[in-house]
Amino acid sequence: MSISDIDREIGDIEEFERQYKICEKLGLRIEGPVYRSWEPSTKPKDSKYMKLVSSYSLLKEIINFVNLHDVVTVRQIFYGLVSNQTIENNEHEYDRIVRICKNARLAGLIPFDKIIDDTREAEKTPSWDSIEEIIGAAINQYRSDWWKDQQYYVEVWLEKRTLRRIFYPITNSFDVHLCIGGGYQSWSEIWEAVKRFESRENQEIVILYFGDLDPSGKDIPRDLRERFSDLKVPVTVKEIALTRDDIEQYNLPRNPSKTREGKQKGDPRKDWYFQKYGIDYGVELDALPPDVLRNKLEEAIIDHISDPHRFRQRIEQDKEEKTYWQKILAS
């Protein structure tokens, strides 16, 4: 079968027909193209590592969770099901969720675009059909510096690459730079930030930090402060999430790989972490419900807009300028 034999609306026709019959039998719905039919087992799987829950029941819980949000990661689905006590908090259960999500997406039961993975990137220089098209795209992308007249210059620094698509729509909507580290920042990334900050000499520079609650995640803000201090750049680093209060307020599950028996055991910062936070386990930022994460991010940014009127004014001016140039291009 060649790629031209695939209907992008329904997928593989034969597999679609098989999946349709399965869905009729199990009371499921096809939500996207079907590439490989799959019938989840309705019999609970017996395992000493996992709860006695069938793949069918887990699939229903996953679909319910996915439908509550615009997009989610597999890790967020896992923590959501741990929080409602559908599954145990261990790597065996996580692997099971990964398998079910894969089968469900191939079977068209969960749209591919609903589950994201920002740990992998593919890039290509954009292609255009005409000069007019690229000029039109440039006009649409035009934006002035909304923070130029504000007391603060704000950036959001995120430890987790997997949460990029949760964060970027919000940071972009406020004209805020999003810096994603995947752990400790390299000196190259720090230096790039210093170059951005050079034009902000009349503003207070604020980094809103989001990271895991574990020895490394909580040490990163200290590391950032020291590096910028070494380069004689005054920066305020504010830790927005994850906090000890978040764990208690939202009853967040522990990360099974960051308990005393897991990876955290060899972390040289674990003693400091225990003394400061009184816990000997880690909790991932991904465990925070996506809507809570979005609200925290948006509120933290808004709190640093010192002149809301001027901020809105710049947004409106941008719209007027775009409309003006779009009319010129159209004529």
pLDDT the model gives residue 3: 42
Residue 280, exposed/middle/buried by CB under 10 A (0-12, 13-18, 19+)?
Answer: middle
Which pLDDT belongs to residue 261? 47
The pLDDT value recorded for residue 187 is 84
When the candidates are 3.40.50.300, 1.10.760.10, 3.40.1360.10, 3.20.20.30, the CATH number that belongs to 150-306 is 3.40.1360.10
Cβ neighbours around 5 below 10 Å, total:
8
- How far apart CA 244 and CA 220 sit, in angstroms, is 16
pLDDT per residue of the chain (331 residues) written in tens, 0 to 9 = 444 455 668 888 899 999 999 999 999 999 999 989 999 999 987 666 667 789 999 999 999 999 999 989 999 999 999 998 899 998 889 999 999 999 999 999 999 889 987 666 666 777 888 888 888 888 888 899 999 999 999 999 999 888 998 999 999 999 999 999 877 888 888 988 999 998 898 999 999 999 999 988 899 999 999 999 988 899 999 999 999 999 999 999 887 545 444 444 556 777 777 777 777 888 999 999 999 999 999 999 999 999 999 999 999 999 999 999 888 888 8
Question: Which pLDDT score, from 0 to 100, does residue 6 have?
Answer: 56
pLDDT of residue 124: 72
Domain boundary assignment for the chain: 3-114, 150-306
Cα(213)–Cα(225) distance, integer angstroms:
18
pLDDT given for residue 48 in this prediction: 65
The pLDDT score that the predictor gives to residue 119 is 66
The pLDDT score that the predictor gives to residue 118 is 67
Rounded distance between C-alpha atoms, residue 58 and residue 97, angstroms:
8
Sheet of 236-241, strand order:
177-180, 152-158, 204-210, 236-241
Residue-level pLDDT at 2 = 42
Axis-axis angle for helices 215-230, 187-197 (nearest 10): 50
